[in-house]
Structure 1
Amino acid sequence: MTQESIRTDGAKLALYLQGPEWDGVPAATIGDFSCKTPEAGLHALHQAIERVRSAGIDRIIGPMSGDTWHSYRFVSESDGSAPFLMEPTNKSHDPDVFKGAGFAPISSYFSARVPLAQTASSSLAASDAFTVEPWDGTDPEGLFRQVYHLSVEAFAQNAFYKPISESDFLAMYMPVVPMLKRELIFFARRTDGSLAGFLFGIPNYAEGPKPKAAILKTYASLERGAGRHLASHFHQSALDLGFDTAIHALIHDDNQSAERSSVEGGTVFRRYALYGLRLDG
């Protein structure tokens, strides 16, 4: 993934000219953004915008480090609680700097807390279409290869989707292997053994070595109902392990998971926004 760096007195960012499509139009992205003052940040953004314009591109998405596989989104609202593991962070003025450069929100997300004693008390009837099983703790590279291939298929129709190679995916996720807890990772398999869905959870080690929250980081399914069953198994296992809270992380507002989180008693504690700028408008 090719990037260009822009540094000014008091600000820096990375520019990716080959970003994903936005409404069917190729876009550049701006990521790794930081600024000491709004004025410095605005100056850097203006430089990036002119570079994108000179490259003949008329869409910019940010913050996004090239694609949605990497870091993207700004925190837009918060209850002030500490960031959880792998959560995007930014200074409070960063969204206003992007707005000052002409960017507007194009997608919104949230994270919610769920009391496990409440949500884990409800169980689902077994499905005839698939069974859910935890990861056995072996062959972590094989685990992430399975996750990669199902993710590519499940997420291909998502907005701002851009393919990534298996090797790049493994390079991103293999470093987290020492933090994995096999009881928080689940697969849904059809009767023929093929993969119907997965759920990747992880303790919130940002709290310290003995966290009380478990993060439902990512899940995807290709079979109707598999997502609900995977989440149910995750909640019950997290409770059995001694966690008291589940964090439903970084859910798109329009995703079916958003409604499910609310039904399960989720309380939103953080909101996020992704911004876009059309240069042809």
Structure 2
Amino acid sequence: MTTKIFKTENAKLTVYPNGPEWDGVPAAAFGDFSCKTPDAGAEILAEAIEWVRRSGVDRIIGPMSGDTWHKYRFVSESDGSASFLMEPTNKSHEPEVFYSAGFSEISRYFSARVPLVHAAKSAPPPTDAFVIETWDGREPERLFQQVFDMSVQAFAGNAFYKPISEADFLAMYMPMVPMIKKELIFFARRPDGTLAGFLFGIPNYAEGPKTKTAILKTYASLERGAGRHLASMFHKSALDLGFDDAIHALIHDDNQSADRSTAEGATVFRRYSLLGLRPDG
């Protein structure tokens, strides 16, 4: 099946019939959703659910634009602060449209803010298992090829994971190159030179070119402790660059990094939900 777009004057929704698996069962993904009114949203959502039901797929995940590499999740709680760079957003009434159609929460996430003057004091114990190095700023395509390779290894076991091609990954991330600060990108390398982890940070340019907030956007590790060392270097480097705060972005509630974020004194300012529906359940 191919992607199908449902659209009216007041609402739109894209159905990705070949979404990721949910508990080992193939699911469709509902993404790119917006509606001016709850009624308009309910109408188009009902049409899409019926279309999926007739296609024989018995699970739906949303909101998700095809996979977790792209935009997904609803904002479920917020302190009212402005959205940060690359954060999912939605109108306040849109999640209820999904709930009213029978969807329920299947995964939870949060973003937290921490003053760098506090976070930068955190120092993990020394290790000989790997060394942390900053990206040298050269060959950005090679940088993202390494990030892609590492992501595939580190995230393959995550819930709702679905692989994408390297070409599609590069098409998503290469346009970000002009915004990158090399001092916020780190690699953990084993003594033999192989990658043990990476961290990708970026200034929160949603606040403007002189933002004082750095976003810890993504990190992954294949060695115990690498993530903590990478985060420590990120915090220290961001503070040295003149940033005041760090955002620990879009962390799964059950991820080990959630505990570390709390231990470093970060305060949750936004929560997110991913929803699911079994149309015949």
TM-score, normalization: structure 2?
Answer: 0.99
Give the aligned partner of residue 232 of structure 2: 232
Gaps of 5+ in 2: none
Residue correspondences, number: 281
- Deviations 1:141-199 (CA, angstroms, capped at 9, x unpaired): 00000000110010001000001000000000000000000000000000000000000
Q: Distance in 2 between matches of 1:56 and 1:4?
A: 15
Deviation at 1:67, TM superposition (A): 0.3
CA distance in 2, matches of 1:218, 1:62: 21
* Contact 2:122–2:264 (CA under 8 A) maintained in structure 1: no
Give the letter for the 1:39 counterpart: D
- CA RMSD across the alignment: 0.9
Inter-CA distance 71–103: structure 2 relative to 1 (3 Å threshold): same
In 1, Cα distance between equivalents of 2:67 and 2:124:
35
Question: Could you tell me how far apart the structure 2 residues matched to 1:88 and 1:246 are?
Answer: 18
Question: Which residue number in structure 2 is paired with residue 259 of structure 1?
Answer: 259
Q: State the match for 1:28 in structure 2.
A: 28
Q: In the alignment, does 2:122 pair up with 1:122?
A: yes
Give the corresponding residue for 2:15: 15
Question: Which runs of structure 2 are paired with 1:93-112 in the superposition (5 Å)?
Answer: 93-112=93-112
| Partner Cα separation in structure 2 for residue 66 and residue 126 of structure 1 | 41
**Distance in 1 between residues matched to 2:221 and 2:2, nearest whole Å:** 31
Would you say 1:67 and 2:67 are equivalent positions? Answer: yes
* Cα-to-partner distance string for 1:177-225 (whole Å, 9 max, x where unaligned): 0000000000000000000000000000000010010000000000000
Q: Please give the secondary structure, in 1, of the residue aligned with 2:102.
A: coil
Within a 5 Å distance, the mapping from 1:36-51 to structure 2 comes to: 36-51=36-51
Deviation for aligned residue 1:124: 2.6
Amino acid at match of 1:148: F
* Residue 207 (structure 2) aligns with: 207
Check if 1:131 corresponds to 2:126: no
- Hey, what does 1:6 align to over in structure 2? 6
Q: CA offset at residue 2 of structure 1?
A: 4.4
Q: Secondary structure at the match of 2:49?
A: helix
Q: Deviations over 1:45-66 (max 9, x none)?
A: 0010011011100000000000
Q: Which consecutive segments of 4 or more residues in structure 1 shift more than 4 A?
A: none
What is the TM-score when the length of structure 1 is the normalising length?
0.99
C-alpha separation in 2, matches of 1:10 and 1:162: 31
Amino acid at match of 1:269: F
1:123 CA drift (Å): 2.0
Whole-angstrom distance in 2 between the partners of 1:167 and 1:2: 20
1:172 matched to 2:160: no
The whole-number CA distance in structure 2 between the counterparts of 1:210 and 1:2 is 43
Partners of 1:2 and 1:223 in 2: how far apart? Answer: 39
Cα distance per residue 1:8-40 (max 9 Å; x no partner):
231001110000000010000000000000000
SS at match of 1:90: coil
